[in-house]
Chains A and B, each alone.
Chain A
Amino acid sequence: MSTEVKPRQTVGPAVTAPAPPPAVRRKSPYPYWFCLPAAVIFFVFFVVPTFSSFFFSLTRWDLTTWEFIGLDNYVNFFQESALLTSLKNTLIYAVVTCGLKVVLGMLLALLLTSQIIARGFLRSVVFFPVLVSTIGVGLTFQVLMDPSGLINDGLALVGINGPAWLVDPKTALLSVALVDVWKGVGLATVIFIAGIVSIPREYFEAAAVDGASAFQRFRRIILPLSRPATTTVIILALIGGLRSFDLIWAMTRGGPGFTSDVIASVIYKQYQAGFYGLSTAGNVVLFILVTAIVFPLFRYFARQEVDL
């Protein structure tokens, strides 16, 4: 309702004031207390939890009482033997899912922007997995990927002895990553399609006149000019991969043993065990890690775009 009031106030001074003094910066026509509702919400639901979590990560905490223990939680967290595996797994998972989503998403987008039959239908088919609940996907694939499940039965028909997927420590993490790609590639494709479609036709026409091959068109026009889309996909997929949890938890619970644990699942297990201070410290570490990886990457891509 307050938005209805705004036009009156903006229109008012702008019309009546003859010539605003140029030297003095004009006061905003909106009173500052307009910011109050948003500020209160931001403060209560964002600033307070963030800073209190920094504080509670320095305590031994059972949700009601706490005891200040300094940096012990961080020391404990970094001594956690599962941490190194989980850190490695998190990076592998993020890089594999991100890489596959970029490559497959780009290929699918190329296919779906070319003149093929049933293009609209195929576009929705590719996007459908994005709409399905992650837990549902996880549980379904858990059944399909059972060593004697449907996927291995299918492979057996063509004479391939399928791997044990989720129960083999060597393949567990990659199997989950594959499902993540299957589920997430639709979103990457849509972003790439948008990027490719927005490239002006003139470039392609000029290239056709110059006799460029399809590959040259891709290499010299589509790839550089859809860079904003690529950046978005990489950043989104990487952040998603780094903090991924739901799919892994639904499919393997970090198992067998600790072999597919990622940082988020280690933190979750500590929370389940009632180590609230310790898991909060883990969350702070995860926050710093994601920021440390994504922020420079974002800056790098942003600079590249300016150069373009």
Chain B
Amino acid sequence: MRFATSWRPVSLLAATLACILALGACSSGSLGSSDEGGGTTLTFLVDNSEGSTKPAQGLAEAFHAKNPDITVQVQQRPGGAEGDNIVKTRLSTGEMTDVFLYNSGSLFQALNPQKNLVPLTGESWANQVEDIFKPTVSVGSELYGAPITSSFGGGILYNKKVYEKLGLQVPTTWAEFMANNAKIKAAGIDPVIQSYQDTWTSQLLVLADYHNIAATDPGWAQKYTAGQVKYAQDPAVKGFQRLEEVHKAGYENKDYRSIKFEKGISLLAAGKGAHYPMLGVVVGNLATSDPEHINDVGFFGQPGDDAAKAGATIWMPAGLYIPKSTEGAQLEAAKKFVAFVASPEGCEVQTKAFPPSGPYMVKGCELPAEVPAAVKDMVAYVKAGKITPALEFSSPVKGPALEQITVEVGSGLRSAADGAALYDKDVKKQAQQLGLKGWS
């Protein structure tokens, strides 16, 4: 019994000590290691795709070489909806890294930037950012992010060798595209590759159709944000209908339900499939997976009804942001790092680390002379001015269930009209969460 009583103060002491130690650990963590050894360490969160980690790692090393007293530590997170969840939760709880990479456009808007992010409007590099990019990382008149990585097209990647062999022309209307598909199928090649095991890849025929929507109705995005036009109506419903048409015609590869993206892109590179509705950013992956076939893969914008208005939908680069939880010396260092990334020097470092898939959004940045064929095709659209930024960069409204809906429409489980109507419902929840007018 004496044993028992004598333990009490000891354990109390131990508990108190543990608490103090824990508190100590906390505060030194959030202040960073700036006091020790004279150096500052910046933590930098990026998604785990090659297109993000490689440039990020390259930038971190180059920045450290230039500023030996600042070390940038790259951390990885999953992409997709899981990654969105991590970023939102860490921001809300004040546990975000010192700087982080995240999508621009609608996903950026969902971060509640006014509350969570440090405004960067007054920074020296802000004037160097291309005007087309600025609205995608701004709320009101405040700019919150710098462009990191390059822009890229979204549309149809195609195998140039197959086109050559069959004597086909790059289509400028959807009818021509379907006619090409018929010839390709007759030649025993899968006309359109789909890879629904990675559900995000199923959305492209809908998302890349946005250039055609905007070409028909230039004010569509504003009306959409205000809740006045819907996906179930013309012209937006066409994207869903096109997805349905491809399935009804039986143009996709036999194993479209069970393969993943990596398999899809290698089928395209090998010429076993002719078209792959995809984001141009994946060309960088080809450089590592199929370097000998990289120039067999070309790009064209998703064709619409009017050949005169044919063009491509373009995706803006991701943004580099500083959360409000970064303070003091860390904030100084973070701003310095962001300035480095948003400079022509930063672009060069990124180009060395990972092949760019389109123009950079910083003025004075040049693409190297030698770029893969698909990027060349993409740049041609940009130079001709035949591009429209994807809907997610003109409107904060993007529903989270689109990829499941497009899988259903693309597998014939749901009709195009039904899928579009369901997506409109999904979008309504997002608009309400954002507190937009016209959606109650």
Chain A residues near B433: list those with CB within 8 A: 60, 62, 274-275
Q: B411 → chain A, closest Cβ, in Å?
A: 6
A198-206, A237-245, A255-263, A289-297: which lies at the interface: A255-263
Residue of B nearest to A2 (CB): B4
A246 CA to B197 CA, complexed, in Å: 18
CB–CB B411/A5 < 8 A: no
Number of residues of chain A lying within 8 A (CB) of chain B: 37
Contacts A63-B92, A269-B81 given; indicate if A255 touches B199 (C-beta within 8 A).
yes
Q: A240 → chain B, closest Cβ, in Å?
A: 24
CB–CB B404/A254 < 8 A: yes
Which residues of chain A (60-111) have a CB below 8 Å from chain B?
60, 62-65, 67, 76, 79, 81-82
Interface size class of B (residues with CB under 8 A): 35 or more
Chain B residues near A255: list those with CB within 8 A: 196, 199, 404, 407
Contact mask for chain B residues 85-104; partner A; CB cutoff 8 A; 1 contact, 0 none: 10011001100000000000
Residue of A nearest to B419 (CB): A257
CB contact between A147 and one of B112, B255, B411 (< 8 Å): that residue: B255
CB–CB B4/A5 < 8 A: yes
Q: Which among B81, B92, B429 has the highest number of chain A CB atoms within 10 Å?
A: B429
Q: A173 → chain B, closest Cβ, in Å?
A: 14
Which residues of chain B (1-54) have a CB below 8 Å from chain A?
1, 3-5, 7-8, 11
**B142 interfacial contact with A, CB 8 Å:** no
Contacts A1-B4, A169-B413, A272-B85 given; indicate if A257 touches B404 (C-beta within 8 A).
yes
Q: B80 → chain A, closest Cβ, in Å?
A: 9
Contacts A5-B1, A272-B400 given; indicate if A63 touches B407 (C-beta within 8 A).
no
Chain B residues near A147: list those with CB within 8 A: 255, 257-258
**B401 interfacial contact with A, CB 8 Å:** yes
Q: Which among B3, B411, B435 has the highest number of chain A CB atoms within 10 Å?
A: B411
CB–CB A257/B411 < 8 A: yes
**A158 interfacial contact with B, CB 8 Å:** no
CB contact between A148 and one of B4, B85, B255 (< 8 Å): that residue: B255
**B244 interfacial contact with A, CB 8 Å:** no
A167 CA to B435 CA, complexed, in Å: 37
Chain A residues near B405: list those with CB within 8 A: 257
A2 CA to B5 CA, complexed, in Å: 8
Q: A281 → chain B, closest Cβ, in Å?
A: 12
**B392 interfacial contact with A, CB 8 Å:** no
CB–CB B414/A257 < 8 A: yes
CB–CB B1/A4 < 8 A: yes
**B165 interfacial contact with A, CB 8 Å:** no
Chain B residues near A4: list those with CB within 8 A: 1, 3-4
CB contact between A164 and one of B3, B8, B258, B414 (< 8 Å): that residue: B258
A193 CA to B169 CA, complexed, in Å: 71
**B437 interfacial contact with A, CB 8 Å:** no
Chain B residues near A169: list those with CB within 8 A: 411, 413
Which residues of chain A (265-279) have a CB below 8 Å from chain B?
269, 271-275, 278
A295 CA to B328 CA, complexed, in Å: 56
Residue of B nearest to A61 (CB): B433
**B178 interfacial contact with A, CB 8 Å:** no
A97 CA to B181 CA, complexed, in Å: 45
Q: B400 → chain A, closest Cβ, in Å?
A: 4
A273 CA to B110 CA, complexed, in Å: 10
**B422 interfacial contact with A, CB 8 Å:** yes
Residue of A nearest to B116 (CB): A64
A2 CA to B4 CA, complexed, in Å: 7
Chain A residues near B414: list those with CB within 8 A: 257
Residue of B nearest to A169 (CB): B413
Number of CB contacts from chain A to chain B under 8 A: 95
Q: B226 → chain A, closest Cβ, in Å?
A: 19
CB–CB B112/A62 < 8 A: yes
Contact mask for chain B residues 408-431; partner A; CB cutoff 8 A; 1 contact, 0 none: 100101100000001001000110
CB–CB B411/A256 < 8 A: yes
Contact mask for chain A residues 137-172; partner B; CB cutoff 8 A; 1 contact, 0 none: 000000000111000000000000000101111000
**A26 interfacial contact with B, CB 8 Å:** no
**A183 interfacial contact with B, CB 8 Å:** no
**A27 interfacial contact with B, CB 8 Å:** no
CB–CB A275/B429 < 8 A: yes
Contacts A81-B422, A147-B255 given; indicate if A253 touches B199 (C-beta within 8 A).
yes
**A299 interfacial contact with B, CB 8 Å:** no
Contacts A62-B92, A269-B400 given; indicate if A256 touches B422 (C-beta within 8 A).
no
CB–CB A1/B7 < 8 A: yes
CB contact between A63 and one of B5, B84, B93 (< 8 Å): that residue: B93
**A303 interfacial contact with B, CB 8 Å:** no
**B432 interfacial contact with A, CB 8 Å:** yes
CB–CB A269/B401 < 8 A: yes
A256 CA to B404 CA, complexed, in Å: 7
A-B contacts besides A1-B7, A275-B433, A278-B429, 17 pairs, CB < 8 Å: A4-B1, A5-B5, A60-B432, A62-B112, A62-B433, A63-B88, A147-B255, A147-B257, A167-B258, A169-B413, A255-B196, A256-B196, A256-B407, A272-B85, A273-B84, A273-B429, A274-B84
| 22 A–B pairs (Cβ distance < 8 Å), ordered by A | A1-B4, A1-B8, A4-B3, A5-B1, A60-B433, A60-B435, A62-B112, A64-B115, A82-B401, A147-B255, A148-B255, A164-B258, A167-B258, A254-B404, A256-B257, A256-B407, A257-B413, A272-B81, A272-B400, A273-B430, A274-B88, A278-B429
Which A residues are closer than 8 A to B by beta carbons? Answer: 1-2, 4-5, 8, 60, 62-65, 67, 76, 79, 81-82, 146-148, 164, 166-169, 253-259, 269, 271-275, 278
Which B residues are closer than 8 A to A by beta carbons? Answer: 1, 3-5, 7-8, 11, 81-82, 84-85, 88-89, 92-93, 110, 112, 115, 196-197, 199, 255, 257-258, 400-401, 404-405, 407-408, 411, 413-414, 422, 425, 429-430, 432-433, 435
